[in-house]
Amino acid sequence: MARMVGELFSIERDFSADLEKQERGLRAIVGSESAAAFVAEEEASGTLAGMVTVQLTISTAQGGPSGLLEDLFVREEHRGRGVASALVEEVEEWCHSRGAHRVQLLVDLQNEGALKFYGARGYGETRMAVRRRIIV
C-alpha cells in the first residue's frame, strides 16, 4: 500500500513519496479505531489493484463526525473497471456506519480525471480553500 501512495504522490505535486513516511502513516491508520484503509485486489492474482484511506474528524458545522477520504489510487491497468467507485462506496458506508454526516476530500486541481470522477459522484466544490503550514 505504501508503494501505491508513493505512485499517487508522483502525480500530486504537493506531496513527495517517502516510503518510510507512507508506511508509518498507513500503520497509524490501520491501528486506529477512527480511521480505515480499504484495498481492492485483482481476483486472479491477488495483487493490489487500488486503495483508499479514510479518517474521522469532528465537524462543528455538522455537529458530529465527518469523514476525510484520502489516498484514493487505482493502478493504471485497473482503471475504468469500477474499482475507484467501489472503494469510494466502501468509504461512504464506513463513514455512515460511524455516524458521519459528510465525506470530504482534497483533489489536485490539475488532475482533470479525478475532478470529473468525484463530480460524477456528487462531490461538489466549496468556497473554502486549503491552506497548510509544515511545522516539523
pLDDT for 77: 92
Per-residue pLDDT tens over the stretch 7-22: 888 888 888 888 999 9
Query: Please, is 65 exposed, middle or buried when counting C-beta atoms within 10 Å of its C-beta (0-12, 13-18, 19+)?
Result: middle
CA distances from 124 to 28, 46, 53, 55, 84 (A): 29, 34, 20, 19, 17
Place of cell 459522484: 121
Starting from the edge strand earliest in sequence, which strands make up the sheet with 48-59, in order? Answer: 35-41, 48-59, 64-74, 103-105
Q: For residues 98 and 56, is the Cβ–Cβ distance under 8 A?
A: yes
Place of cell 484495498: 39
CATH of the domain at 46: 3.40.630.30
Question: In this structure, is residue 102 part of a structural domain?
Answer: yes
DSSP structure class, residue 15? -
Question: In this structure, is residue 15 part of a structural domain?
Answer: no
> How many domains would you assign to the chain?
1
Per-residue pLDDT tens over the stretch 104-126: 999 999 999 999 999 999 999 99
Question: In this structure, is residue 77 part of a structural domain?
Answer: yes
Question: In this structure, is residue 48 part of a structural domain?
Answer: yes
Question: In this structure, is residue 113 part of a structural domain?
Answer: yes
Range of the domain at 96: 33-120
Question: In this structure, is residue 56 part of a structural domain?
Answer: yes
Question: In this structure, is residue 49 part of a structural domain?
Answer: yes
What value does the mean pLDDT take over residues 73-98? 96
Q: Are strands 35-41 and 48-59 parallel, antiparallel or unpaired?
A: antiparallel
Alpha-helical (H) ranges within the chain are 2-11, 19-30, 83-97, 112-120
Task: Say what the pTM is.
Answer: 0.91
